[in-house]
Amino acid sequence: MRYPLVKRVAGILLLSIIFACNGGKEPARKVEVNTTSTAGAIAKEIVKEANPTDTIHTDVLEFIDVDGNGDNELLIAHRANDTTDYICQTIYEGKFNRGDLISLKWRTGPYVNPGDPETTIQENFVVEYKLVKAGKLSIAKQKGMPRLSPYYYDENISDYGKDRINNEVSYYLINTNNPDLRKVVDRPAREIPFTVEKRTVNGMELYEIWFTTAANKPQPIHNVFYHFNYPYQLFEGDDLKPAL
């Protein structure tokens, strides 16, 4: 569901309370990304079409995700150094992976919140998109990236939540500079095992992800943390710094 700005801010302030009270189920979406966009060097200021009065704009963006967990599908991407979302008015049929560079045509127009039909706000809408350049994750999948083999200790986590974590793990593994993980990712392998278990770290409920070897007796390699309030970021270390 889309909310006016004031309601969105209030909703964000309640996320930590909701997460603590909902038995481990992931809360509503909050988009926060701390990574530096590779599209920043390519994307320019918003470029209008030939007609200066046209409301259609074109950007080169770094694709992050399409989130369908709401009234509208939202295409989420980096625009320069900002993270923003665009409402998909038709069903998203793209097959992008996080890190792909895409050309996005979009417009700004009125949006009526289904939960507050008397309020109209201005939102960004997807008009058209196409691939500009495949990112590291897309290239790795084309070459035969090892299959993820997760084990979730928490039986209450939904399929939506598992997909969130699996997608972030895939992106992290392809982009990490951790030498031990690089040995696993870069060599031919049929699978990359990891476990996911709920932990309390510095007073916060997180999901700890342990990457292990694929031997008969798996050995731990490296661990990171995931929090549903930050769906596009993994953390590591006792101080929970961004992992990428």
For residue 21, being part of any structural domain is answered with: no
For residue 17, being part of any structural domain is answered with: no
Domain containing 35 equals 31-135
Q: How far apart are CA 36 and CA 244, in angstroms?
A: 9
Confidence at residue 166, expressed as pLDDT on a 0 to 100 scale: 95
Confidence at residue 76, expressed as pLDDT on a 0 to 100 scale: 95
Confidence at residue 96, expressed as pLDDT on a 0 to 100 scale: 93
Q: Report the amino acid identity of residue 60.
A: V
**DSSP code per residue over 26-80:** --S------SPPGGGGT--SPEE-SSTT---EEEEEEEEEEE-SSSSEEEEEEET
Question: pTM, whole model, 2 decimals?
Answer: 0.74
For residue 1, being part of any structural domain is answered with: no
My answer on whether 154 and 187 are in the same domain is yes
3-state secondary structure of 86: strand
What is the count of structural domains for the chain?
2
Q: Which of 69, 70, 54 is nearest to 127 (CA)?
A: 54
Beta bridge partners of 79: 82
My answer on whether 111 and 166 are in the same domain is no
Q: Do residues 105 and 57 lie in contact, with contact meaning Cβ atoms separated by under 8 Å?
A: yes
Q: What is the pLDDT of residues 83-122, one digit of tens each?
A: 999 999 877 877 899 999 999 999 999 988 877 888 888 8
My answer on whether 39 and 130 are in the same domain is yes
How large is the average pLDDT for residues 32-40? 45
* Phi then psi dihedrals of residue 223, to 5 deg: -125, 150
3-state secondary structure of 168: helix
What's the token pair of residue 133?
């350049």
